[in-house]
Amino acid sequence: MHLSPVDYVILILYFAFVIGIGWRLRKSVTSAGEFLTAGHHVPVWITSLAFLAANLGAQEVVGMAASGAKYGIMTSHFYWVGAVPAMLFIGVFMMPFYYGSKARSVPEYLKMRFDEKTRGLNAITFAVMTLFSSGISMYALAKMFNLVLGWDFNSSVLLSGAIVLAYTYLGGLTSAIYNEVLQFFLIVLGFSPLAILSVRRAGGWAGMQQRLPDVMTHAWRYVGHADQNPMGVEAFGLIAGLGFVLSFGYWCTDFLVVQRAMAADSMSAARRTPLIAAFPKMIMPFIVILPGVAALALTKMGSGYSLPQKGGGYDYDQALTTLMAQFYPSGMLGVGLTALMASFMSGMAGNVTAFNTVFTYDIYQGYIRPNASDRHYLTVGRVTTVVGILLSIATAYLAAQFNDIMDFLQLVFGFVNAPLFATFLLGMFWKRATGHGAFIGLLSGTAAAALTHGLTEAEGKGAWITNLHVFPSQMAQNFWIAIFAWSTCLLITIAVSLATAPHPDSRLRGLVYGLTELPSDEGVSWYRRPVPLAIVVAVALVFLNLIFL
């Protein structure tokens, strides 16, 4: 792919705006709260788009186009099954407890609701995982820029790290959130034309249906049995594993996204944040997945475009960038690359701003220096931002050197995350759940995840204890690991809670269903109320699934 000067002009213009936003916001950062939690005064349209954009990293954009080419429209399950229902749940049911508890982070909520050790476990694992995922995506992106544009690996890593550092150091969470919204606009405006052009060239949706196998253009028709679809998953694993355990575990408990909603200026706005975000989330598959499906159709029809080859098959990861090279002239090519760079940088900024909050409040204030001045914590927050970015960069180089270790770590992170939602569900809706129960439940859930992986095999992976079952795909294996981990955590937490002394009601006020006054929204117009908003989203969601049945 060849860039001309105008493409670089657009990229540099974007960098200038991003840093300019941080510069303009620097004066409003006067306390640790402003820096780390945006002081609870960000307008709801901004928190909503940031809620969505924080998850829309460059790996997601490139990866979804790749999955579109590999699995077809079934990929939309990652949005319609694997995200939107969980977003409705957190907005309607969970946000009153998060926002109402006045906790500054998700681990801090766990401390209030359960105990210190549960908070410590969550805070430390979250902090480590955030840094690693930031570094891993940095590595993936620098490698891609190297492959597609010939950019030097070191320069990409250092330049993007420096820019993210500049704007998060200056403006803190507010700056990160503002730039996530700018990135979201850029993704939509930068990739919608690609979707329109590539689908039109492939003969429209009808033309693609004719040219591709039936299974590529139907989301539900072939999930009855794992053999029938290229993902190798069946309906129960898909709905329970992806749609319930993994999706609710991410969207309802991951501090990276929850932090965006908690930055909203009122309880009502915090609840509406994920609900409003669900509208654009539902439509994202048309922008990020359809180009991938079109790439496959174009390859099959001998249009002059072909997916690049790799080791006897297609190199799906290059679907997006090769399409851009064919459909975008200079100018739009710059916009598309800027959008990729932007989504990558804001993904990193999201990780760093979540990391510095958890480190400052949950680790430093929690265990190292509890009673310092706010000014001191502001300094710690700023220093942590610098350290966080340096550690991400170090991780990116580690990933470049030791690919196997990174794969292993990601596997372990999966084990840690899988049971989380059971802990939150019980914590918020069952007042009898205790700290000991939650802690032991989480550890058992993680152990169950590891055990499931050790006893089953998929695509040659796993079964390091003995092989009891073979899954048709790694995706199916992941879904089932999540199901076992979640169920184990749920059962063990209940059992241990019943065997240990209950927390007194006085300690649980504002934290648990039944002991919390739920916010009333009477007299507010319907589109400002969470429940009617959620119903509109749900109806639209069913409609979309029916169209692509």
Interacting residues with other proteins (CB under 8 A): 4, 6, 9-10, 13-14, 17, 20-21, 24-25, 28, 41, 46, 178, 181-182, 185, 189, 193, 197, 201, 303-305, 325-332, 335
Report the alpha-carbon distance of residue 81 to residue 549 in Å, rounded: 13
Return the amino acid letter for 20.
Answer: G
* Least Cβ distance, residue 6 to other proteins (angstroms): 5
Contact 90, 258 (CB under 8 A): yes
- The span from the CA of 530 to the CA of 513, in Å, is 17
DSSP, collapsed to helix, strand or coil, labels residue 219 as: coil
Cα 337 to Cα 8, 69, 466: the distances in Å are 9, 20, 46
Nearer to other proteins, 170 or 212 (CB): 170
Phi and psi angles of residue 114, each rounded to the nearest 5 degrees, phi first: -110, -100
Angle between helices 319-327 and 58-71 (to 10 degrees): 90
Dist CA 253 CA 255 (whole Å): 6
Cβ-contact 411, 453 below 8 angstroms: yes
Closest by Cα among 112, 80, 109 to 94: 109
Phi-psi region of 412 (alpha: psi -120 to 50; beta: other; left: phi over 0): alpha
Shortest CB 4 distance to other proteins, Å? 8
Quick one: tokens of 213?
């196998």
Comparison of 6 and 149: residue with beta carbon closer to other proteins: 6
Query: What torsion, rounded to 10 degrees, do the Cα atoms 536, 542, 547, 549 define?
Result: 170
Residue 301 or 494 with smaller CB distance to other proteins: 301
Considering the complex, state which of residue 128 and residue 325 has its C-beta at the smaller distance from other proteins.
Answer: 325
Taking the complex as a whole, how short is the minimal distance between the CB of residue 198 and other proteins, in angstroms?
8
Query: CB 48 → other proteins: shortest distance, Å?
Result: 12
d(CA 61, CA 191): 10
| Between 66 and 323, CB nearer to other proteins | 323
Pick between residue 25 and residue 492 the one whose CB is nearest to other proteins.
Answer: 25
Rounded to the nearest 5°, which phi and psi values hold at 309? -90, 150
Q: Which of 541, 542, 521 is nearest to 532 (CA)?
A: 521
Of 86, 107, 106, 97, nearest to 252 (Cα)? 86
Name which of 13 and 162 has its Cβ closer to other proteins.
Answer: 13
Instruction: Closer to other proteins by CB, 28 or 379: give it.
Output: 28
Instruction: Please report how close the Cβ of residue 164 comes to other proteins at its closest, in angstroms.
Output: 17
Residue 184 Cβ vs other proteins, minimum distance, rounded to whole Å = 10
Nearer to other proteins, 298 or 422 (CB): 298
Report the alpha-carbon distance of residue 523 to residue 514 in Å, rounded. Answer: 24
User: Least CB distance from residue 507 to other proteins, whole Å?
Assistant: 36
| Shortest separation between residue 302's beta carbon and other proteins, angstroms | 13
State the nearest-atom distance from the C-beta of 114 to other proteins, in Å.
35
Distance CA 136, CA 351 (A): 12
* CA-based nearest residue to 252, from 274, 272, 270, 227: 274
Which of 325, 494 has the CB closer to other proteins? 325
Element (H, E) at 290: helix 290-300
Sign of CA dihedral 242, 243, 245, 248: positive
Name the minimum Å distance from CB 296 to other proteins. Answer: 15
Nearest distance from C-beta of residue 353 to other proteins, angstroms = 16
CB of 313 to other proteins, least distance (A): 23
Residue 64 corresponds to which tokens in the numbers above?
């979804």
In the complex with other proteins, the residue whose CB is nearer, 189 or 447, is: 189
Tokens of residue 222, six digits: 């072939």
Of 185 and 543, which has the nearer Cβ to other proteins?
Answer: 185
